[in-house]
Each structure stands twice: as C-alpha cells, then as structure tokens.
Amino acid sequence: MGLDLDCIDGQTPLDEDEKEGLLIPTIASRGELDEFEQQNIEQAVLWSLNRSFKIEIVFTEEFLKALHKRMYGNVWGWAGKFRKTNKNIGVDKWQISIELRILLDDVKFWHANNTFSPDECVIRFKHRLVSIHCFSNGNGRHSRLIADIIIEKIYKLSHYSWGATNSIKQSDQRTTYLNAIRAADNGDIQPLVKFARS
C-alpha cells in the first residue's frame, strides 16, 4: 500500500494486511488519517450522547464491538472485529474473547457489589480493556469513550476530561497519560483515575 503510518509513543503499529483495510484510498498521510478517524469518532460520541444505556447491554462483547465499529467503521474495514494478529501489547489473539469475558464478568460483579468507587470501577475496566487490546487499532480511544459512557449513563456522573482541564501542553499530557497507564500496569490505578478527572 505504501502509506506511511508512523506511530508515536503508545500507539500500536498496523500490519500491512491491516493497512489494506483502509476504506478511503485518497488518504496519503498520518495527519489525513487522524482527521478522518476523528470525524468518525465525533459521530460516535454524538450518537452516545443521545442514548440511554443499560448495564446488561454495555457490559457485553457485542456492544464493545459495535461501539468500535461506530467509531472507525467509515475508515477501516476491520472496525468492530477482533484483531487477527498479535501486537506489541495485549493478550494473544486467541485469548481475546476469553480475557474479555473474564473482564466483563468482573466489572458486572464490581458494579453489583460496589467493590470500588464509580471512578475506580470504570477506570479499572478501561485499563484492563486496553490491556487486552481487542482491536487492531483505536483501543485507547475506544476505552476512553466506553469509560465516558459508563460513568455518565450508568453511574450518572460527569464524563472524564482526560487531562483536558490541565494547562499543560498536549505532548506533556500524553506523557502523563502513558505514565499513568504504566503505573496501572504495575498495580497502582490511582494516577490513571486522577488523570481521567484532571
């Protein structure tokens, strides 16, 4: 395909087969791709704002796939489908459904038993979802949108700002986010909870 989609720190590189799934043949750069993806994501966000959601729907594999497709379906042919290759992050491709089932069972239990505060429950779910890395790409943005849907529609609390209320520049904001993810990887979820609300 020849399209150069260099990744920045924290992004998952695409295999050549995955690049072939690009539905817009005129895209020639990472900047153009980001723009088309952002337009598609904004449509998904608008869709989510005008809906009510129930736990028994949101905490399902079908909903997670459908949301990813809604976010990326205008740009990528593989949107909403679990990845078929292993990546530099995430579980083995054959373990995705199993690990996701365990996570969905865990989050339903956490919610039903008030195991964690709403923010900690949602951010733990978001972090584990990214750790599984269900899709070829877009996992971080997908997990942030699902976190916003859960905190707003299930818990009836305000959506997350994901560092937007801080006056730090965007590159520092990304570094803070990635450091919070790494802390969560090591068992400390609080920096990620704090970042989500900053």
Residue 135 domain flag: yes
The per-residue pLDDT for range 71-117, each reduced to its tens digit, is: 999 999 999 999 999 998 999 999 999 999 999 999 999 999 999 99
Domain count along the chain: 1
Residue 168 domain flag: no
Average pLDDT, the chain: 92
Predicted pLDDT at 164: 86
Residue 186 domain flag: no
**What are the beta bridge partners of residue 135?**
none
Torsion of CA 111, 194, 51, 106, to 10 degrees: -30
Predicted pLDDT at 6: 59
Angle at 12 between CA 186 and CA 108, to 5 degrees: 55
Predicted pLDDT at 96: 98
Q: Six-digit token pair at 36?
A: 């088309």
Q: What is the DSSP letter of 22?
A: B
Predicted pLDDT at 1: 42
pLDDT mean over 112-135: 98
pTM of the entire predicted model: 0.90
Residues 6+ apart with CB under 8 A from 155: 118, 122
- Indicate the range of 15-24, 37-46, 79-88, 92-101 predicted with least confidence: 15-24
Residue 187 domain flag: no
Residue 108 domain flag: yes
- Indicate the range of 89-98, 125-134, 174-183 predicted with least confidence: 174-183
Residue 171 domain flag: no
**For residue 36, what are the domain limits?**
16-160
Residue 139 domain flag: yes
Residues 6+ apart with CB under 8 A from 133: 12, 83, 87, 89, 90, 91, 96, 139
Residues 6+ apart with CB under 8 A from 126: 143, 144, 146, 147, 192, 196
Q: What is the DSSP letter of 152?
A: I
CATH number at residue 42: 1.10.3290.10
Question: What is the spatial distance between Cα 146 and Cα 64, in angstroms, rounded to a whole number?
Answer: 8
Q: Is the pLDDT of residue 153 over 60?
A: yes
Band (24; pLDDT cuts 50, 70, 90): very high
Report the half-sphere exposure of 161 (CA within 13 A, side-chain side): 10
Residue 94 domain flag: yes
